Chains A and B, each alone.
Chain A
Amino acid sequence: MDQSHYIAKHVAGLPKSGIRDFFDIVARMKDAISLGVGEPDFDTPWHIREAGIYALEKGKTHYTSNLGLIELRRAISKYVEKHFQVAYAPENEVLITVGVSEALDLACRALINPGDKVMYHQPCYVSYHPGVALAHGVAVPVPTFARDNFALTVDALRTAWQPGCKMLMLNLPCNPTGGTCDRAQVEAIARFAVEKDLIVLSDEIYSELTFEGEHTSIASLPSMKERAIFLHGFSKAFAMTGWRIGYACGPAPLIEAMMKVHQYSMLCASIISQEAAIEALLRGEEAMKKMREQYHRRRDFIVRRFNEIGLKCHLPRGSFYAFPDVSSTGLGERDFAIGLLEAEKVAIVPGSAFGENGKGFCRACFATSYEQLIEAAKRMERHVQNLAAKK
């Protein structure tokens, strides 16, 4: 029996994730050095894990409010005001979600009418385009370029804009490019959003991992709080990917709309994870800063090595990803990545997994030990030399 006709058209029409595809290939390879992950190599700091254990011991095994624990929302409100200079009321402007991914999905489902157009910069995290499509919206990609260090420019926004655009999704610093925007660039994007009456969905999950200059949240700019939804979470900065805790902050009516979808689909995020997240905010900053320092040094090392090898690589200003241009090898990004895996057992992700504009690039995550990075760079150098010799 062929069940495929039961599958909803907008789901059947979604492309298979390029990452998933590549994962299947890597999974077959034993002992590969992987620069393919999108998460910290550090385990969650012990005091945060211990808070989760303590929560279990104290019988915290029940539902929470749909919005999430008020103590956590209060802690988030304080944290966001201190670090992002924008104040949200914990009572009705903060929603705890199952990772930022859920927050993103909620915002799409709560705000997009069928046919609404949503601008997003690309290359980008794999969920943006499908998230829009699942909400029956139309995703409008805006390219970012290596020549701009993959910052999003207003020129590109203007070129891509078309009538019917309602929302702009931002991810600064960006997975997979590490590109971000300085304050002047964010201000220019904000002016564009006001001019075109766009609601801005700003996924700032990598903001703590900004190495050059200060991170500027678009929500903190004058007259932007009313048209921005600020998305953030604990996965990257606090090394808590498996806990699945994210949050959305925004104007009360929008948070209320997102909460409706959340309430009927997810009900609430895990109470154990929420308790651990409170501990992360109250006492986790020191450990987070230490991790950031290490990422910073690893970034400087791997980017320098890529350039030495002949894989031109801009300096990612944020995140834990380097995004080298592999076109000098004469191979496409996918062939290069597969060849590297087969010949040298190093896994990196072809840039095209992150959209058309990632063609010619590969994503290498430097959230791994120095020893692994040194060895991976050595093997990549050998591989690139072998490719050149064959030319």
Chain B
Amino acid sequence: MNPVLKLLLEGSRLDTAQMAQVLNLSEAEINGQLAALKHQGILLGWSPILNLPDEEAGLVCAVIEVRITPERGGGFNRLAERISRFDEVESCYLMSGGYDLLVFVNGKSLQRVAAFVSEKLSTIEGVLSTATHFMLRSYKEQGFLIEGKKEENERLKVAP
């Protein structure tokens, strides 16, 4: 496996200079490898994982179960891609089970999310039904625990 990819998978958030040091490559080589990963569609982009204070976040998050009609030749893809293009949609997955698409939506307010669902999403030709669940609180975000207060876990400085 690409060594840069391995390092990214470890979850350590090193800048390119640090990656270069760890892997004994030049920064230009690291940038080249990152560019190649992007070109191959493996590395999609960078996005900080935040736990903003409520007053700054001001975001309403909803999970929407969407039932759609599959189409000849493309199945669910055309509709799923169309829905995914909305800025409000953070993630979109095709699911097995009682519904077809699981859509994560962010909006500035409850009204905006509701408006997105009723005016945009459910009016698309082929969308059969939607069920919207608003998120109340997040406990873990993309592998990161959201803890009230981080416990300091002090290791001994010297041990045999």
Contact = CB atoms under 8 A, between A and B. Distances in A.
Interface of A: 17, 19, 22-23, 26-27, 29, 32, 34, 36-39, 41, 43, 125-127, 175, 290, 293-294, 297-298, 300-301, 304-305, 347, 349, 369-371, 374
Interface stretch (B17-25, B51-59, B99-107, B128-136): B17-25
Given A294-B10, A369-B12, A370-B12, A301 B21 contact: yes
Contacts of B12: 369-371
Contacts of A126: 160
A26 B18 contact: no
Contact of A347 (B18, B23, B157, B160): B157
B160 A370 contact: no
A17 B158 CA distance: 12
Interface of B: 6-7, 10, 12, 14, 18, 21-24, 153, 155-160
B155 to A, nearest CB: 6
Given A34-B158, A37-B156, 6 more contacts: A23-B156, A23-B157, A23-B158, A38-B160, A297-B6, A301-B21
B160 A125 contact: yes
Contacts of A26: 157-158
A305 B23 CA distance: 11
Contacts of B158: 19, 22-23, 26-27, 34, 36-37, 347, 349
B160 A127 contact: yes
Contacts of B21: 301, 305, 374
B7 A297 contact: yes
A104 to B, nearest CB: 12
Given A297-B7, A370-B18, A17 B160 contact: yes
Contacts of A374: 18, 21-22
Contacts of A347: 157-158
A349 B156 CA distance: 13
A58 to B, nearest CB: 25
Contact of A43 (B153, B156, B159): B153
A41 B154 CA distance: 10
A171 B14 CA distance: 35
A370 B157 CA distance: 17
Contacts of A23: 156-159
B24 A39 contact: no
A370 B22 contact: yes
A349 B10 CA distance: 28
B155 A39 contact: yes
A38 B10 contact: no
A37 B159 contact: yes
A19 B156 CA distance: 12
Nearest to B14: A370
23 contacts: A17-B160, A19-B160, A22-B158, A23-B158, A23-B159, A26-B157, A26-B158, A27-B157, A29-B157, A34-B157, A37-B157, A41-B155, A127-B160, A290-B10, A293-B10, A297-B6, A301-B22, A301-B24, A347-B157, A370-B12, A371-B14, A371-B18, A374-B21
A19 B159 CA distance: 7
Contacts of B6: 293, 297
B22 A297 contact: yes
Contacts of B153: 43
